[in-house]
A = this chain, B = another copy of it.
Amino acid sequence: MSKCEQCIVREFSSLKALNKEELVKLAECKTSRLVKKGEVIFEEGENVNGIFCIKDGVCKLTKLSPNGKDHIVKLVTKGELLGQRSMISEEPVNLSAVALEDMQVCFIPKSEIMGFFDKNNQFSMNVMRTICGDLKDADSQMVNMAQKTVKQRLAETLLYLQDTFGKNEDGSLKIQLTRDELASMIGTATESCIRLLSDFNKLGLIELKAKKITLKNIPQLKKMV
């Protein structure tokens, strides 16, 4: 069992408020797990009795819409926590979490977290702020979905992906989503997404080669949003 004290990732989440003693307790009760690309961490409707801390990798949070399509609500990456909302609401999770790449994930049981909640004010404030940030983002995404065109949403999403996950040495987006996944982030049909990418390519806004997407004209992409 590795020590949480030495885990750098903790510095990026609400857990940074924990003191040495609390971190020792945490290390004792947490369980670590490797999650392969494509593997499910938890599924909509499940009871998850605790939270997950992402040590490495990226996953998607999806929600099944009544028409049977999955919609990607959020991407979550190294340093972030999963399952906080569900734990606080004492409800099943409302989203599924699926690994987009191989991941290292730690699970912290609810009892432990609730203890920190009671005793460490800074920790609970951090959690609250995170959830408030999520709410603000969700509201703004809701408005995007309702009011922007698919083209605008695609441009915005490409910019977001580069901003958040960076680029490879060749300049292409570091995070690898299938066209299908990209479509279910922006809320459109896969073919429409592919077609628009193709249009963007022809316009010189992006470059497509062998599945890799490279943003070529960022000012122009920004202007579209």
Known: A95-B139, A135-B131. Contact between A187 and B147, CB under 8 A? yes
A2 at the interface (CB under 8 A from B): no
Q: Is the CB of B145 within 8 A of A145?
A: yes
Question: Nearest chain B CB to A148's CB is how many angstroms away?
Answer: 7
Which residues of chain B have C-beta atoms less than 8 A from A6's C-beta?
none
- A94 interfacial by beta-carbon distance below 8 Å: yes
Q: What is the chain B residue whose CB lies nearest that of A84?
A: B132
Judge whether B147 and A69 touch: CB under 8 Å: yes
Q: How far is the CB of A68 from chain B (nearest CB, A)?
A: 9
Contact A139 B73 (CB under 8 A): yes
Q: Quick check: is A143 within 8 A (CB to CB) of the other chain? A: yes
Residue of B nearest to A144 (CB): B65
Residues on B with beta carbons closer than 8 Å to the beta carbon of A146: 65, 71, 145, 186-187
- A115 interface residue per 8 A CB criterion: no
Q: Fill in one digit per residue for A2-36: 1 if any B CB lies within 8 Å of its CB, else 0.
A: 00000000000000000000000000000000000
Query: Does A170 sit within 8 A of B, measured CB to CB?
Result: no
Evaluate whether A148 and B89 lie within 8 angstroms (CB atoms) in the complex, with A124-B124, A132-B131, A135-B134 already known: no
For A69, what are the chain B residues with a Cβ–Cβ distance below 8 Å? 147
A58-75 interface with B by 8 A CB criterion: 63, 65-67, 69, 71, 73
> Which A residues, 81 to 135, have Cβ-Cβ distances below 8 Å to chain B?
85, 88-89, 91, 94-95, 118, 121, 124-125, 127-129, 131-135
Q: Which of chain B's residues have a CB closer than 8 A to the CB of A85? A: 132, 135-136
The CA of A85 and the CA of B89, in the complex, are separated in Å by 16
- What are 9 A-B contacts defined by CB distance under 8 Å? A63-B139, A63-B140, A67-B147, A88-B128, A89-B129, A127-B128, A131-B135, A135-B138, A145-B187
- Chain A residues near B (Cβ < 8 Å): 63, 65-67, 69, 71, 73, 85, 88-89, 91, 94-95, 118, 121, 124-125, 127-129, 131-136, 138-148, 152, 186-187, 225
Beyond known contacts A66-B225, A127-B128: 12 more, CB 8 A cutoff:
A65-B144, A66-B148, A73-B139, A85-B132, A94-B136, A94-B139, A118-B121, A124-B124, A128-B128, A128-B131, A145-B145, A146-B187
